[in-house]
Amino acid sequence: MLQNALTRQGAALSTPNSHPAGFTVPSPGCAKRIMMAADRPLAPGTRVGAFEIEEARSEGGFAIVYRARRVATGEPVALKVLRPHLAATRSMAQRFAREAAALQRLKHPHIVRYVGAGALAGGQPYIAMEWLEGRDLGVELERRGPLGLAEAVAVLTDLCSALAAAHALGIIHRDLKAANVMTVPRHDWFDVRLCDFGIAKQRDGEGMSAGSSSAIMGTPLNMAPEQILGGRIDARTDVYALGLLAHQLVTGRLPFDASNPAEIEDLHLNAPPPRASAVAPVPPAFDALVARCLRKAAGERFADVKAFMAAASALLAPASEIAATHVRVEVQVRGTGDAVDDAAFDQADAALEVVRACCAAAGAELVVDSGLVVMASVRDADEARALAARLERALEEARRSAQLLVQVTVELASP
């Protein structure tokens, strides 16, 4: 059923005049007419379909976002209108249609809600979305300053659930960054909504390549190595972006920054990530979490956003909340500088593999396997102690490594 829906969607997307959101992708002949439209914001009061423009809110390179109202009901909406000179470009119009199609399918409390779509008389396509009265997460961070660990994990949790919903439909966002997350004030905190599926892609079959059907797209500061290199894009590309954002949330800065795009690309491709704990009050396990997202090879990152989320939540879980008896193993990478060493992560991976094998041999069920922490559930304290002793022996070599900090703990159920 879902597969059928995806196939139909894919077919619609590649057929010029049948975009699901009612777009018409221009034929070469109509380009000139659209080019003649002035590339300046629409004036307040302009009618756009069922809506009336109130004011331009944001003028991006590709689109202008307006606050508008549905004339019949007064409902406020955000209208994102493709710039006229780009509306004449078939690839851009298709990209915009993909954004509308993705949003139309995504109904999630942390994703901006789709209201409708259409085209101006001159041919420029627009997308109507719920109006979010707030500011983007980048501006929010500048105003508040870096977030605490629990606050950052709360934001990441909501964004992960949004991304998981998109990934479940085969939609990869590809441009997750603070500027594409809107915050809506709530008491003294805020809710988040993931926006701008402008370069999102529908995965077909085995995945997709960054450069296969379009120019390589993204924002240099936030591009994963495979986006820079035109490699295969999948959910782990969004996991990389989550790692960048996680670091930014607690430090106020992106991990890889430089004065020009080529240098930034080089950092993404070759540099070890800096440690957030060197400048922010977060534990080394947070560095490990980010570093795992930022592995250059997608295969070495968290396999999906849920695995990332489990690891992030494990950073907060107090032992007292544990209702059953567990053996918990945490493997942290130590480091002397302010960067994380890739080889140390390979050692950590090997150690966690040993832990999994031991637990499997003992018949203990893994309740957490986050890539940093493995937690196995056992029947009682005796079993826990036996498994812990076995793990201590098996992890002797890892314990000797100067680069690793290995902790085996027994957590007994509260009586």
- Nearer to Mg ion by Cβ, of 220 and 272: the residue is 220
| Residue 234: contacted member of Mg ion, ligand ATP, none (CB under 5 to 8 Å, by partner type) | none
* CB contact burial 187-204 (16+ within 10 A = b; e otherwise): eeebebbbbbbbbbbbbe
Find the binder of ligand ATP among 48, 65, 156, 245 (CB under 6 A): 65
The one of ligand ATP, Mg ion, none whose footprint includes residue 132, by CB under 5 to 8 A per kind, is ligand ATP
> Phi first, then psi: what are they for 403, rounded to 5°?
-90, -10
Smallest gap from Cβ 257 to ligand ATP, in A, equals: 19
Smallest separation (angstroms) from ligand ATP to the CB of 116: 13
CA angle 281-286-289, nearest 5°?
Answer: 165
Binding to ligand ATP in span 176-235, by CB under 6 A? 179-180, 182, 195-196, 198
Q: Residue 82 and residue 123: Cα distance in Å, rounded?
A: 10
How many residues contact ligand ATP, by CB under 6 A?
Answer: 21
Phi and psi at 88, nearest 5°, equal -80, -10
* CA-closest candidate to residue 94, choices 186, 18, 174: 18
C-beta of 63 vs 310, nearer to ligand ATP:
63
Q: Who's near 298: CB < 8 A, 6+ residues apart?
A: 224, 226, 232, 234, 236, 237, 239, 240
Spell out, one character per residue from 5 to 44, where the chain touches ligand ATP: x when CB under 6 A holds, - when not. ----------------------------------------
Q: Could you say which of Mg ion, ligand ATP, none residue 136 binds, taking C-beta under 5 to 8 angstroms by partner kind?
A: ligand ATP
62 binds ligand ATP (CB under 6 A): yes
Helix (H/G/I), strand (E/B), else coil: 116: strand
Q: Is 341 a catalytic residue?
A: no
CB of 86 to ligand ATP, least distance (A): 9
Q: How are beta strands 365-369 and 404-411 bridged, if at all?
A: unpaired
**Out of 61, 74, 145, 299, the residue judged to bind ligand ATP by CB under 6 A:** 61
Q: Select the residue interacting with ligand ATP from 136, 226, 265, 369 (CB under 6 A).
A: 136
Q: Segment contacting Mg ion (CB under 5 A): 143-151, 176-184, 311-319, 336-344?
A: 176-184
For residue 96, with 0-12 CB atoms within 10 Å meaning exposed, 13-18 middle and 19 or more buried, which class applies? buried
The first and second tokens of residue 59, run together, are 């003028």
Contact between 78 and ligand ATP per CB under 6 A: yes
184 has which bridge partners?
Answer: 191
Contact 255, 152 (CB under 8 A): no
> Do 13 and 5 form a contact (C-beta atoms < 8 A)?
no
SS3 286: helix
Say which of 39, 136, 158, 175 is annotated catalytic. Answer: 175
The whole-angstrom separation of Cα 64 and Cα 66 is 6
Q: Pattern 302-341, binding to ligand ATP, x per CB under 6 A?
A: ----------------------------------------
Calculate the dihedral angle through the C-alpha atoms of 87, 90, 93, 97, rounding to the nearest 10 degrees. 160
To Mg ion, the closest distance from the beta carbon of 394 in angstroms equals 48
Q: Which of 89, 94, 124, 180 binds Mg ion (CB under 5 A)?
A: 180
Of the candidate residues 14, 15, 27, 58, the single one contacting ligand ATP (CB under 6 A): 58
Least spacing, CB of residue 113 vs ligand ATP, in Å: 8
By C-beta, is 153 or 195 nearer to ligand ATP?
195
Between the CA atoms of 163, 165, 171 and 175, what dihedral angle is there, to the nearest 10 degrees? Answer: -20
Q: Which residue is nearest to ligand ATP (CB)?
A: 60
Residue type, 163: L
Give yes or no for a contact between 161 and 108, defined as CB atoms under 8 angstroms apart: yes
- State which of residues 19, 80, 167, 174 lies at the interface with ligand ATP (CB under 6 A): 80
Shortest Cβ 348–ligand ATP spacing (Å): 36
Binding status of residue 196 toward Mg ion by CB under 5 A: yes
CA 362 to CA 302: how far, in whole Å?
25
Pick from 13, 93, 101, 112 the residue near ligand ATP by CB under 6 A.
Answer: 112
Write the CB contacts of 115 (distance below 8 Å, at least 6 apart in sequence).
Answer: 77, 128, 129, 130
Q: Which stretch binds ligand ATP (CB under 6 A): 30-38, 174-182, 338-346, 369-377?
A: 174-182
| HSE value, Cβ hemisphere, 13 Å, CA-based, for 37 | 20
Q: Round to whole Å and give the CA distance between 171 and 298.
A: 17
Task: Report, as residue numbers or ranges, the catalytic residues.
Answer: 175
> What is the contact surface with ligand ATP in residues (CB under 6 A)?
57-58, 60-63, 65, 78, 80, 112, 129-132, 136, 179-180, 182, 195-196, 198
